Amino acid sequence: MLAQFADIAKTLGNPQRLALLEQLSQGEMAVERLAELAQLSVANASQHLQTLKSGGFVTARRQGKQMLYRLGAGPLTEVLAALRNYAEFQRRALQQTLALDFQSLKLEAITVAELRRRMAEQSITLVDVRSEAEFAPAHIPGSVNIPIAKLQSRMRKLPKTDIVAYCRDPYCISSTQAVELLVSHGYQAQRLVGGVPEWEQAGMVSEKGGA
């Protein structure tokens, strides 16, 4: 039984397959439409659908030249709802943990709007603690890329005050760890609530390329 559970989890442990199942929970669809909604190529969508079909998660029928898919038998909509609920529970738990960390360490987080104001009024050292691969496609203008794993060895090159660290989103733990590390070594540092997506959502343009 546990081996069967593991096989089910392995099949579902793919965000693209979950995206396809989410779309099929709305009803039967052609593979071309599924690929479009899930932002996949038709070939990639077909490959994932075959895996789901082998596991009994979807069924298929041909209608003319189209291959139509629908959810398989069983409480699959309940399974998808349970996964969504658990993911939301984990997100809230992480958010609460971050809030407690900041409270216990007396750390403050700033918003994108506050960052923009401070960047216009004073010199800010903006540290992007994501990996180099994440930094290159897009980052906040003027930021320096120091992945969290390299921060300890490179922090001596940073000024002691007015440091703001950011990561990939409001719930990324790396920026919290960066601020904690910097503060413990006598630096004045704050965490940005969010990252490049929040910066762009505020109507600002991100930069591309290396540090």
Residues serving a catalytic function are 167
48-64 per-residue burial string, b: 16 or more CB within 10 A, e: under 16: bbeebeeeebbebeeee
Q: For residue 163, what are its two tokens?
A: 């440091």
Q: Which residues contact 33 (CB under 8 A, 6 or more apart)?
A: none
Interior angle at CA 98, CA 141 and CA 118, nearest 5: 30
